[in-house]
Structure 1
């Protein structure tokens, strides 16, 4: 009986209508999946000083661009503080070509003020300025391995037995050097209505995550979450004459459902399988972020 709600939640993820599944699955500007904002396995972390994670996720960006994101993460715990470093790589492939390379590194610190309340702060540092090109023409944001911005990340989480409530804010401190203009491409090359992002000005995001934790037997832990993300303003770009153009309807809400299945291989190792999909999305997403996410992660503590 206690698992009925969780089962219904998981089934909902697999029955999202196709038009919604082609919406944005996570803000994925960085803060959705970092330590202390992403759901974690739980109390066993307290007895280990070091955690190492290696994983890969697959998704789809706008305009049928495939997105593969390998990553490595290291977390060091001491007393009531945890320091983490997450290195992300990116491979993006579509009709306009394939791009690959290092994407971002995300550095965070978290502080446990007590058994229930935790604060998080960090930065996202890009390895490029989202300025990759092909055939002498700038590529749209869907093909960029990074947003190309330096970002500030802050957040807090409150744990209540099997429920965890998390709030976070990610704010770009700089903007990127993307120079894509739709009209630069010859007629017939772009089969989809890509949004111009020359001189792109991206606004920040806030999220609220509600996570429920449940155990299934001795080996499995299920973390299911509802993840609303609000993009705080309409983004903008510069036209050929240098005039700022507002990208209407790029502000607004994306409501995601996420599940994380954790299989405990031993007392200090685990595998995690994840799935995320949206049920509501903002209409225009010029940043080219992933629309859904499937992932697998290996975790070892020592």
Structure 2
């Protein structure tokens, strides 16, 4: 009964929460940095799985971002695995609608060491853009002329990214850290003047501009406590993500690139998850969280007000 009461409290926190979320930038759910990982005392990782994930996020403004992702994890040998994530996104908001293939995530994870009840795993990966993040809309807000939409509405970040991370995991705890570096800028050309017919110009200017944006470097830390039982588990954790260098873009009205003030800083979330295992092959998982802090300036469109992630996992 004590375990059931604890579970209800933890799940209630998860369902009521709000989250910055990092599903869009991507590296928080890749390889060694994934939440709610399985731990095995065996050295061998022979992990093969396919995960179908539904994601919904509400932004700080009106766009609602949804995605369906197919996440494959394939064991290469007793010590390493390969992961590929293929998302399809659709976005709806007052400025317009957009849908399409999201960025492709690839990662390689290897067991580095297993000792004293802990596994140490390392990951190297990359994100490949599905488009140049300059999709356009034509509606009454644009005077029925095609205009590039803000990054909130784009299905791709539009840049090639390099990713690396490392994690320590045992039967109760997960500690992970990682870094994501945008290697290229995107081609987003959103400007306020493209939506001159939008009736609320004060609201429109809340969309931070970043023409041909190159995101700064992100560093994340995941601390997670997991409680596991026969058929279910739940976890509580913290996920701070710190942008340590400024974003860079073309300054509106000029042809020069410059650093954008307010784009560094920490986005902190408190996260909760619940998983139920039907048998050794089939399980479901829910993840949600509480947003604590945001960065001041967000031209990349990654900030979320609320995030919900529901997954079905088949292991083989």
Alignment TM-score, normalising by the size of structure 1: 0.89
Residues 216-235 of structure 1: pairs in structure 2 closer than 5 A: 216=229, 218-235=230-247
User: Over aligned residue pairs, what C-alpha RMSD do you find?
Assistant: 2.4
Tell me which of 191, 195, 201 is aligned to 1:185.
195
Comparing 24-33 and 43-52, the one that deviates more:
43-52
> Is structure 2 residue 199 aligned with structure 1 residue 199?
no
Query: Partners in 2 of 1:49 and 1:160 — Cα distance?
Result: 16
Q: Once the 2 structures are TM-superposed, how far is the Cα of residue 24 of structure 1 from its aligned partner?
A: 2.9
Is contact 2:45-2:80 (8 Å) kept? no
Distance 1:44 1:272, change over 3 A: farther
Query: Partners in 1 of 2:178 and 2:234 — Cα distance?
Result: 22
Distance 1:13 1:51, change over 3 A: closer
Query: Partners in 2 of 1:5 and 1:182 — Cα distance?
Result: 49
Q: How many residues align?
A: 296
Tell me which of 211, 215, 225 is aligned to 1:212.
225
Query: Partners in 2 of 1:4 and 1:104 — Cα distance?
Result: 40
Tell me which of 24, 31, 37 is aligned to 1:35.
31
Q: Once the 2 structures are TM-superposed, how far is the Cα of residue 141 of structure 1 from its aligned partner?
A: 0.5
> Is structure 2 residue 300 aligned with structure 1 residue 299?
no
Q: Once the 2 structures are TM-superposed, how far is the Cα of residue 284 of structure 1 from its aligned partner?
A: 1.4
Residues 140-151 of structure 1: pairs in structure 2 closer than 5 A: 140-151=150-161
Q: Once the 2 structures are TM-superposed, how far is the Cα of residue 32 of structure 1 from its aligned partner?
A: 1.4
Is contact 1:228-1:253 (8 Å) kept? yes
Query: Partners in 2 of 1:267 and 1:13 — Cα distance?
Result: 25
Query: Partners in 2 of 1:25 and 1:105 — Cα distance?
Result: 18
Is contact 1:51-1:75 (8 Å) kept? yes
Query: Partners in 1 of 2:128 and 2:30 — Cα distance?
Result: 13
Tell me which of 126, 131, 135 is aligned to 2:129.
126
Is contact 2:182-2:217 (8 Å) kept? yes
SS at match of 2:25: coil
Comparing 26-35 and 77-86, the one that deviates more:
26-35
Query: Partners in 2 of 1:28 and 1:66 — Cα distance?
Result: 13
* Structure 2: stretches of 5+ with no match in the other structure: 139-145
Q: Once the 2 structures are TM-superposed, how far is the Cα of residue 236 of structure 1 from its aligned partner?
A: 3.1
Tell me which of 22, 45, 53 is aligned to 2:51.
53
Is contact 2:20-2:307 (8 Å) kept? no
Alignment TM-score, normalising by the size of structure 2: 0.86
* Structure 1: stretches of 5+ with no match in the other structure: none
Post-superposition CA distance 1:155-190 (Å, at most 9, x none): 000124411110100001111100011233315445
Is contact 1:36-1:120 (8 Å) kept? yes
Query: Partners in 1 of 2:268 and 2:254 — Cα distance?
Result: 36
Residues 1-302 of structure 1: pairs in structure 2 closer than 5 A: 21=18, 24-26=20-22, 28-39=24-35, 40-43=37-40, 48-77=46-75, 78-115=77-114, 116-135=119-138, 136-186=146-196, 188-189=198-199, 190=201, 191-192=203-204, 193-216=206-229, 218-238=230-250, 239-291=252-304, 292-302=306-316
